[in-house]
Chains A and B, each alone.
Chain A
Amino acid sequence: MNIMSNEMLIIIRAVLPSFTIALLGFMLGKLDNNREMNQKTISNMVYYFFTPCLVFSSLHKRSFDFQEFAVIGGAAFILIGIMTPLALYFKKRAGVRENGYLLPIIFMNTGNISLPIALLMFGNEGLAKAILFHLMNIMVLYSFGVFLVSGKTDLLQFFKIPALWAAILGVIAATCNPALPGFVCDAYAVVNKGIDVLALGAIPLLIINLGYSMSDTKLSTLKDGLTGASLRLLGGPLMAFALVYGYRLIGWTPVIQGMDPLTALGYRTSEAIIILNAAMPGPVMAYLLNVKFDNCPQKAASMLAVGTLGGIVTIPLILSLISRYIMG
């Protein structure tokens, strides 16, 4: 007798390995109760080396499609645009003056949580699409997000993101195919192998870092972030479903399968990635920006903690909706 449906099994297959790794990070955090480890060392390694390698390794293996980038990047842009007035309304209702309150509601954690799930559920195609969404999300975070908390934009920071350059290089490598001398091809293959090996480290480290952070969460601080996190976790995917519906109506992601099932599957994966990312809790970077500009970091931390814990329940739920209504 089957105790769970195939759909549910696929979702659990995508989420459970990530939870196992997060649990390892959580246990490490509990073991390290004196906080002897330095998360900055891990974050820097991930930020400067592992994630760029993952981005390059994923993007250079597939052809780049500008229309796909417009669909996915555009969705990130629109979702942030719709969430902003909603977040402003809730900020006013909560009686909070600082704009730092807005960031964990408007922006999504498209790195730590979304990339591993995208890879495990949708393979390299899903990962590459999730990276496109991630790039747009962080570009808006560094421009509009920084403007919200500091009154000025910081696009220079965006152009300093190593993953951006890795993405550009990955797209160039995927698009151009020049005839190169044999030794250059050999050298490229060797460097590529090094990059692929480094890329293997990105996802476990991203999740372990998250699990390690969660081990320090105090339950008493969680109630402050309940409203914001609920809006992020529930409002985000609802908007994304509406957006996908709109995309289908205007024909950006046509539903008709036609003669090319792979193209149709590509559209469905794009839609799934949009909804998955919209269902993510707030990003750690939002908290770091709030700390940097001293703009209500405690509330942001609380929203992130509630959002990440709540995600344990809501993300599988959203994945099951994706599986039923988008991929089904």
Chain B
Amino acid sequence: MPEFISSLVTPLEIHMMLRGFIPTVIIIFIGIVIGRWDSSRHQLTLMKLTHYIFLPCLAFSALHKHAFDPAEIFRIALAVFITITVMTLVSVTVLKEKLQGGSRNILATVYMSSGTLFPPLAFVLFGNEGLAKAIYFHLFVILAYHTAGLWMVEGKADLKSFFKTPFIYLMLLGIGAKLFPFSLPEGIEEFAWLSEKGIDLTAMGGLPLLLISFGYPLGLLQRSDARGGLSGGLLRVIAGPLIALLVVYLYRKTGLISMERGYDALEYLDHRTTEAILVLGAAMPTSSLAMRLSGDRVNAGRAETGTLLVSAAVAIISVPTVLLLILMFIFSD
């Protein structure tokens, strides 16, 4: 290992990081295999399962155990909006697209897989704290998608469909349960606790299913599809984390995220986890939901499909690299 890396990261830390990352890659590959083998070609089934059940349960399960901190939410929201805005400007310039009325490839380049690949990865690497932050990250990504994103390609925002997302309501319920703990009669409280256990069980089951639903559409693509998406795919996984690193640097410079270690080691660690989530989230490949499949046919343009394929392929290298950077420059003393 090069000396500058070994001076900042221990082999054990790298080992731990790979032990989290490789299993997620294995499960994504299983998703690809399912996509290739599933004769029904039914991505819609997976989408409905994740959209209506697993992602909402995951949001509730993560947030009702996580301390509610408006400052943390503000930091994540601001970082997501800055990252997406800068990414949009870079993508419009590099891909020579129009800011409004352009192709959907711009969405595939700017918007990351924050709802399928990111939550399981955040959980495996950073535990429930990381998962809760990833859930907030996803909220602001889909908000940006339904407003600015759709305005760019369709000429108008679609807040109605944003508010139809069940994920938001279970998220609010999770926050509410944390913020307003109310005592119920003993028997009813036991019932509520057991129902919560059922939701937690479903949430944990959602982790592999989200990864599979990310891999599934990749199983339907051909290598030749990559041609149209080289620039978009590379931009997604390389420019994304670089912009996020810059945001984290600015946060530190302006004091939005404190670097003070103080006596509260946990708070310090919490800030570092927030930074890690911002960078890791921005490093995710294109959202596979950008490529909605209908029956046997891929219902997406060639460029978007290519962007998804290239970003997913490059992510196998770029995500561990970003994780290494996170270990070196965020968690290292």
Contacts and interface: CB of A to CB of B under 8 A. Distances in A.
B199 A3 contact: no
Contacts of A25: 53
Interface string B1-30: 000000000000001001100111011001
Interface in A185-211: 186, 189-191, 193-194, 197-198, 200-205, 208
B27 to A, nearest CB: 6
Interface string A116-152: 0000000000000000000000000000000000000
Contacts of B168: none
Contact of B207 (A18, A21, A37, A197): A197
A194 B49 CA distance: 21
Contacts of A4: 187
A28 B205 contact: no
A37 B23 contact: no
Contact of A201 (B40, B57, B198, B208): B208
A32 B202 contact: no
A183 to B, nearest CB: 11
Contacts of B205: 200-205
A20 B186 contact: no
B201 interface: yes
Interface residues of A, number: 44
A193 B57 CA distance: 22
A19 B194 CA distance: 10
A208 B195 contact: no
A21 B202 contact: yes
Interface of B: 15, 18-19, 22-24, 26-27, 30, 34, 37-38, 40, 42, 44-46, 48-49, 52-54, 57, 120, 124, 186-187, 190-191, 194-195, 197-199, 201-202, 204-209, 212
Contact of A37 (B34, B48, B212): B48
Contacts of A21: 198, 201-202
Contact of B48 (A3, A16, A28): A28
A28 B38 CA distance: 22
B138 to A, nearest CB: 19
A50 B207 CA distance: 12
Contacts of B190: 9, 12
A12 B194 CA distance: 8
